[in-house]
Amino acid sequence: MRVLVIGSGAREHALCVALRADPAVTALACAPGNAGTAAVAEPHPVEGADPAAVAALATRWSADLVVVGPEAPLVAGVADAVRDAGVACFGPSAQAAQIEGSKAFAKHVMTAAGVPTAQAWAVGTEAELRTALDEVAALNAPGSPYVVKDDGLAAGKGVVVTPDRDAALAHGLAVLADGHAVLVEEYLDGPEVSLFAVTDGTTVLPLLPAQDHKRRDDGDAGPNTGGMGAYAPLPWAPSGLVDEVLARVLQPTVDELARRGEPFSGLLYAGLALTSRGVRVVEFNARFGDPETEVVLPLLRTPLAGLLHAAATGTLADHPPLEWSGGVAVVVVVAAPGYPESPRTGSPITGADAEGVLHAGTRPAADGSVHSAGGRVLAVTAVGADLADARRVAYERVAGIGLEGAHWRTDIGLAALEGRITV
């Protein structure tokens, strides 16, 4: 099977590494890729968010399967264009990707499917925004933060969670000034879980639950980011969590999208909060999460290309049950100075070819070295027998990286290890 991966982050590097390990894969390419994917997959300088260019590459390269990593190409219709060209594609249509691309659409689907989520107000004017902030304050437990979101793709950075009403108002006004709608949401208390499911639009196969660390700094301080680290599986997760989320969230959502004539095939990512009132959906994504993919895929024993091909061709019902290694995986994101606000790029990196080091924002330099090219630069992974072991090895590997001014969290998985996460 000839597999073409679209994207250029650590998620795509993790996908390439896992696909390479599948004996069914005879050739692997990644477009546009980064300095890390180039070592395992043929690089092609094609812009991932250009549907016609990706479809042309898939045809020219004789791909049997295209795997789309990021959300922007999906929302732009890359999966539709690839399928129209007669090539199997792992990733939803532009229509179905609205489950991530529009938070208002996601809310409609969840309401229709009876999926538990935060109550939300969609607002388009300052007056509506002020009213929604008053109403949500009355609904939330006293002292709870306000949650104000940009109703569009914002790479995880369009959300402000703050107890300060003025800051919440200011963020909402800034989003309105950009011409976007704003969503004000009920505050969801409780630990967050990322649960991915592979689906062909009918059959849904959940993967292992993982936990991201969205804030920049230790102790969940600082601004929201695309994700600073993750671990999987979750030692504190209630038994039966995956079955419950499959029955109450994932399957009903997939069924509702099919009922609307917008079947979702690809990776459905449920971002969940385990609140005092039960499981609630924080958001859906239409693709593998980053950095969670970097900890989920290393634990998967089932060959990845066969699984994704089955989803892309509607044959998941015949696929054998997934097998897992039984270990624990940790990923620590090494970020550029200034990330997330204004990352500095173009700096040389050393140690980026070491074991377990996945590339996020990197590019090969003319002299053969590797330079930073994004905010999240590397995703340093380790698999261990337990969480303590995986953390120890991951941080040893981080210590081997050289990037001037780089920063990373030192507490990935620590709250879980110390038993500080309760449901």
Contact 15, 297 (CB under 8 A): yes
Distance between CA atoms of 111 and 344, rounded to whole angstroms?
Answer: 42
Select the span of 166-174, 215-223, 283-291, 386-394 touching ligand GLY (CB under 6 A).
283-291
Which residue is it, tokens 């981080």? 398
Shortest reach from residue 143's CB to ligand AMP, in Å: 14
Contact 210, 233 (CB under 8 A): yes
Distance between CA atoms of 257 and 20, rounded to whole angstroms?
Answer: 32
**185 belongs to the binding site for ligand AMP (CB under 6 A):** yes
Q: Which of 191, 263, 289, 413 binds ligand GLY (CB under 6 A)?
A: 289
- In the complex with ligand GLY, the residue whose CB is nearer, 70 or 201, is 70
Partner touching 292 among ligand AMP, ligand GLY, none, CB below 5 to 8 Å by kind: ligand GLY
320 CB-contact burial (10 Å; exposed 0-12 / middle 13-18 / buried 19+): exposed
Shortest reach from residue 152's CB to ligand GLY, in Å: 14
Shortest reach from residue 214's CB to ligand GLY, in Å: 7
Q: How far from 222 is each of 341, 357, 414, CA to CA, in Å?
A: 11, 25, 17
Specify the DSSP element, H or E, that contains 204. Answer: strand 204-206
- In the complex with ligand GLY, the residue whose CB is nearer, 262 or 283, is 283
Partner touching 188 among ligand AMP, ligand GLY, none, CB below 5 to 8 Å by kind: ligand AMP
Is there a cis peptide before residue 291, judged by omega within 30 degrees of 0? yes
Select the span of 50-58, 131-139, 287-295, 351-359 touching ligand GLY (CB under 6 A).
287-295
Q: Annotate each residue in 154-173 with x if it binds ligand AMP (CB under 6 A) or - if it does not, as one string.
A: --x--x-x------------
Q: How far from 152 is each of 95, 132, 167, 294, 377, CA to CA, in Å?
A: 14, 19, 20, 25, 25
**374 belongs to the binding site for ligand GLY (CB under 6 A):** no
Site for ligand AMP in 226-285 (CB under 6 A): 271, 282-283
What is the dihedral angle through the alpha carbons of 139, 145, 151, 155, rounded to the nearest 10 degrees?
-150
Partner touching 187 among ligand GLY, ligand AMP, none, CB below 5 to 8 Å by kind: ligand AMP
**214 belongs to the binding site for ligand AMP (CB under 6 A):** yes
Q: Which of 80, 212, 256, 294 binds ligand GLY (CB under 6 A)?
A: 212
Which residue is it, tokens 């895929």? 297
Binding-site ranges for ligand AMP (CB under 6 A): 118, 147, 149, 156, 159, 161, 185-188, 192, 214, 224, 271, 282-283
Binding-site ranges for ligand GLY (CB under 6 A): 156, 212, 227, 285, 289-290, 292
